[in-house]
Chain A
Amino acid sequence: MTGYVKEQSPPFRRDEELEQSGVVSRPEMPRIRRARVNMIRWGLCALLILLWQISSDHNWIDPFYWSSPRMIAKTIWIQATQGTLWDDVAYTSGSTLLGFVFGTVIGSWIGLLFWWSRTTAEVSEPYLIVLNALPKLALAPVLVILFGIGFSFKVVLAFLMTVVASTLSAFSGVRSVDPAMETLLYSLGASRAQVFSKVVIPWSMPFMISNLRANIALALSGAIVGEFVVSNKGIGRMILYAGTLFDLNLMWVGVVVLSILAVLMYWGVMLLERWLSRRLMIIPPQRTDAPPKPLRPRRPSAGGAAAKPVFPPRPPYPPYPPRL
């Protein structure tokens, strides 16, 4: 029983938290204010780029180390039209996404399945925590021997980065399931499998979903680290290669492309989160019409006009004899 600290966090995030997490947009946020925020954001971005360009043009910063937006854009153009930029982008995002999907799905399932055996869960927990804290890069040598230096090695690294975190967050969801809700299902004659599918999984869903955004970032670092270790393709390799050649301009290209990639993936995951939340009905959809006033119970009229409802046939009784 010890070590089984009950988590207090509610499984269903309150509206304010949802707004802050960006899963749902605040409906009453004035459009004007949002437009202003967006304008300032883009303006700031443009200003920084402009400042960077001007400083490097006037040699306030050394263009050899810090490059300049114009040079970066030019190199990107060359790399995209004549070089291997698209191949590199596809390589890196491919290994990231594959690692992310496998890591999240497999990790979440492992965490969920811990519900079936509290003993297994409690035995595994310290190991999981150690695995989670362990820098996965330390495993690189053995992984290279096992999986070679190709694509699968990066996928495995991205997978390892995400799988333990997913397990832990699914498990924290499982652990917080309201025991009374399980009791309710059992009292309706449910099997353990039904309790699992009808209560444990939906209850843990918000925990798993909230982990997605952290996971995509982890998967990307896993893929890049893998390319740093050994690779002949990918953005990570490009950055490393540029560094060894003292071609810092090319390195900046890698960083910029990587930032764009990270932002795109983050957006994608955010859309996925939003879609999952709506689809799984974790957040009740916003209603435009005000909820009607609570109704009073209708009593059958004295005249006997209201017919007594015909009672539905009962569901079958659970199997007998008892399982004692």
Chain B
Amino acid sequence: MADAAKITVTGVTKVYRRDELEVTALQNVDFSIREGQFVSIIGPSGCGKTTLFNIIAGLTLPTSGQVVVDGRSILGQAGYVGYMLQNDLLLPWRTVLNNIILGLEIHRVPREQSVRQAMPLIERYGLKGFDQHYPSELSGGMRQRAALLRTLLYNRDILLLDEPFGALDAQTRLDMQMWLMTLWQDFSKTVLFITHDIDEAIFLSDEVFVFSAPPGRIKARIPIDLSRPRTPEQMATPEFSAIKRQLLGLLVTAGHSGSLSPTDAGCEAQARGEVRDDWVR
């Protein structure tokens, strides 16, 4: 049902040990999200947002805590959620189509079947005629689209999107935001969305989580009550500005602790996937 929690995160703490130094990336993160909710996470860089995603995606184990989806623990279980990493990470030697069906291919879905499923998505969501092109021939926005379609075709109820539009220019970004809204409405997925852009967070979300400066904790949860479907014009309304002011206030105090902490390096490495000794055996 819509009111039941789709995903529950309880007491997740992650401590990295590096050279005798213990760095707490996440401290006691608790939240639960209902099915079909769109939740954005904002916070200063290095506050463990990506670490949290890696834990939910089953790529990293938390030091303590639990992640429950549909009543089952998914700790250390890769493949239970759709995860879009910071870069589009399309494999350059595969065509757009072959990139999009990668998730199905890994699960040994017959190729004709995956293509049959992928083609309508490609045509409907702005990549029509590009299925046989290589990623290097696409613009940044289209690459992001392809990466998102890959995550979507993998067909998990929960999508984790880690700053998917971070590298795009403002115009493309707005297009992509509208596009993501369409997708979300069509497929009613539960979405967790990391962003650094407050406007984007407010515009897209049902609820915004503000993370504190390292160690990462949820500092505030701000429900966004703007009407749906959202339009870009809403960004100019007083309600929007009020929420924005509130979030900005929270972020300024959240980032107050100031200078870069060692966690930054850890998070960045994590984002690039370099810290992996604890999950690759």
Contact B155 A312, beta carbon cutoff 8 Å: yes
Does B121 interact with chain A (Cβ within 8 Å)?
Answer: yes
Contact A297 B178, beta carbon cutoff 8 Å: yes
Contact A179 B76, beta carbon cutoff 8 Å: no
Count of A interface residues, CB-CB < 8 Å: 50
CB distance from B106 to the nearest CB of A (A): 5
Q: Which residues in window 254-290 of A have CB below 8 A to B?
A: 280-282, 284, 287
Point out the residues of chain A lying under 8 angstroms from B87, CB to CB. 180
Known A179-B272, A294-B142: A311·B187 in contact at CB below 8 Å: yes
Kindly state the separation between the CA atoms of A313 and B114 in the bound complex, as whole angstroms.
Answer: 10
Contact B93 A189, beta carbon cutoff 8 Å: no
Contact B103 A315, beta carbon cutoff 8 Å: yes
Contact B78 A202, beta carbon cutoff 8 Å: no
Interface residues of A (CB under 8 A from B): 11-12, 178-190, 192, 194, 198-199, 202, 205, 280-282, 284, 287, 291-292, 294-300, 306, 308-309, 311-318, 320, 322-324
Kindly state the separation between the CA atoms of A270 and B86 in the bound complex, as whole angstroms.
Answer: 38
Most chain A CB within a 10 A radius of its CB, from B94, B107, B136, B155: B107
Kindly state the separation between the CA atoms of A296 and B175 in the bound complex, as whole angstroms.
Answer: 8
Kindly state the separation between the CA atoms of A282 and B91 in the bound complex, as whole angstroms.
Answer: 11
Q: Which residue of B lies closest to A291 (CB)?
A: B137
Count of B interface residues, CB-CB < 8 Å: 65
Kindly state the separation between the CA atoms of A199 and B75 in the bound complex, as whole angstroms.
Answer: 25
Q: Which residue of B lies closest to A300 (CB)?
A: B182
Q: Give the dominant DSSP class at B's interface.
A: loop
Contact A187 B77, beta carbon cutoff 8 Å: no
Point out the residues of chain B lying under 8 angstroms from A190, CB to CB. 79, 106
Contact B175 A297, beta carbon cutoff 8 Å: yes
Q: CB-CB contacts of B78-110 with A at 8 A, as 1s and 0s?
A: 111001011101011111000000111111010
Contact A198 B102, beta carbon cutoff 8 Å: yes
Contact A309 B141, beta carbon cutoff 8 Å: no
Known A180-B272, A312-B155: A295·B127 in contact at CB below 8 Å: yes
Known A183-B273, A189-B107: A284·B79 in contact at CB below 8 Å: no
